[in-house]
Amino acid sequence: MRTIALRVWMVCWLILVWVLLWGTVSAANILSGLLVALVITLLLPLPPVPVEGRLHPIPLVRLVFTIIFRLLSSSVQVAALALKPGPPPLTAVLRAHLALKSDLVLVLAVNIINLTPGTIVLEIDQPRRMIYVHVLDVGNERTVQRFYKQVDSLQKLLVASFERESDWRPVAEKEAAS
């Protein structure tokens, strides 16, 4: 039942995206969107993503506000660097370890880092949970440490929102118990 509900949701979402791409709501756009959505979901299905842990709303709200604040502040910092006269800022590729258990939460962390102006994840070492991030403006030790503190803070917020130890029960254990 859950699988069917997810497929119906995905088809509806794809129809909405199709209509938004065309810019007008019409019967032709809705029907062609339905056709495209059915082709995508039936002929090109994605593998199931294991969802583990439990969602905690209060830490999730803190996570959302922290991300919004960081996006705004880093946008201002990148704009200031772009307008600052002189040589371009020093950049580097920094390695960070993310002790996240779920691949889904790891992907979420990488996407949050990629959305932050001045940073982009270049490589993910999934088995070791290492990410390699290109960081703008690493001219001094303080800015490098600020990056590592932000990654650590993001990791703690993600764990509090999705991966608390008391709620963690991997999919393999759930399947064995049932």
Question: Cα angle vertex 32, ends 26, 38, to 5°?
Answer: 135
Neighbours of 27 (CB within 10 A): 7
Neighbours of 113 (CB within 10 A): 21
The answer to whether the pTM exceeds 0.85 is no
pLDDT at 167: 66
7-17 pLDDT, tens per residue?
899 999 999 99
32-72 pLDDT, tens per residue?
999 999 999 889 887 777 767 778 899 999 999 999 999 99
pLDDT-derived band at 21, boundaries 50, 70, 90:
very high
Nearest to 171, CA basis, from 116, 89, 103, 118: 103
Please state the length of the chain.
Answer: 178
